[in-house]
């Protein structure tokens, strides 16, 4: 069982920055790590992912503003969020999938951390 704990959320004004952290109970070397978010009354959506080998991906809506990174020694994945917008308001979740994950396979979720961006 992999435990994931997010932290770093908070309330900021538009244009501000936050850095989210996801601390894993085990090494994440064999996992694809992702950040998802879920706004009220909306589906959970992928924001960014860090694949094995440190290959990173972010969705178009946050490209140029958000950066995903990892510190393997600390079993931690980060999401640096700059120039935050009100539409970024959501609960942000850390996710871990085995690098060979397929539908139906086990995946792991953190408890979520609230990010609120005021205008």
14-72 tens-digit pLDDT: 999 999 999 999 988 889 999 999 999 999 999 999 987 778 999 999 999 999 999 98
What mean pLDDT, rounded, does the chain reach? 95
Which residue from 25, 67, 73, 38 is spatially nearest to 50, judged by alpha carbons? 67
Asked whether 93 and 109 are in contact (CB, 8 A), the reply is: yes
Q: Rounded distance, CA 89 to CA 79, Å?
A: 14
pLDDT mean over 80-91: 98
8 Å CB contact between 94 and 37: no
- Mean pLDDT score, 73-91: 96
Is pLDDT above 80 for 99?
A: yes
The residues near 78 (Cβ < 8 Å, ≥ 6 apart) are: 19, 20, 21, 22, 68, 69, 70, 71
46's tokens:
């992928």
pLDDT of residue 8: 98
pLDDT at 72: 86
Question: Would you state the pLDDT for residue 65?
Answer: 98
């Amino acid at each position: 069982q992999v435990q994931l704990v997010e932290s770093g959320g908070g309330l900021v004004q538009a244009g501000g920055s936050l850095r989210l952290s996801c601390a894993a109970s085990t090494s994440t070397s064999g996992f694809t790590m992702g950040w998802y978010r879920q706004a009220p009354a909306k589906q959970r959506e992928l924001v960014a992912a860090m694949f094995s080998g440190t290959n990173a991906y972010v969705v178009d809506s946050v490209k140029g503003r958000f950066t995903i990174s990892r510190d393997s020694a600390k079993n931690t994945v980060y999401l640096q969020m700059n120039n935050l917008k009100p539409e970024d308001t959501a609960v942000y979740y850390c996710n871990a999938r085995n690098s060979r994950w397929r539908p139906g396979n086990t995946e792991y979720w953190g408890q979520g951390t609230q990010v609120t961006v005021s205008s």
